[in-house]
Each structure stands twice: as C-alpha cells, then as structure tokens.
Amino acid sequence: MPLIQVSQASQQSTEKKRELVKALTQAYAQATGADEAKVWVIINDVPRDSWGTGGVPLADRDKG
C-alpha cells in the first residue's frame, strides 16, 4: 500500500485535512493507476516552535 506523509507547521482545520487527504489520494491514484482505497495518507502537524529554517524556529519568525 502506498503511503503519503505530509509534515506541516501550519495547523489546519479538520475540514481542510479531509480535503487534503482526498486530493492527495486522487492525485496519486490518477498518476499511478493505484486503487484509491489502498492509498494511505498521514498528516503530521508540527508545532511551529519545533520546526526551523535558517537556524530560527518558525515561531520566532512569526514574532518579527
């Protein structure tokens, strides 16, 4: 079974996550011919203080 993992620093609503899971599943199935029922999607919500770029946590970038 194919597994798609998404890590994101932004917190999305349950409805937005549903839309994302559906869109990713459909795109993968269309591109590969896979059965949509066998495509797994995991969304990892990462707190902005636990994700950094350029040596700075995203939470700190939000302040400035």
Residue type (1 letter), 49: D
Q: Check residue 50 and give its pLDDT.
A: 95
Query: Where would I find the beta strands (DSSP E) of the chain?
Result: 3-8, 40-45, 52-53, 56-57
Residues 14-39, mean pLDDT to the nearest whole number: 98
Residue 64 has pLDDT above 80, yes or no: no
Contact criterion met (CB below 8 Å) for 25 and 39: yes
Contact criterion met (CB below 8 Å) for 39 and 4: yes
Residues 15-35, mean pLDDT to the nearest whole number: 98
46 pLDDT band, cuts 50/70/90, is: very high
Q: Check residue 63 and give its pLDDT.
A: 83
Whole-prediction pTM value? 0.85
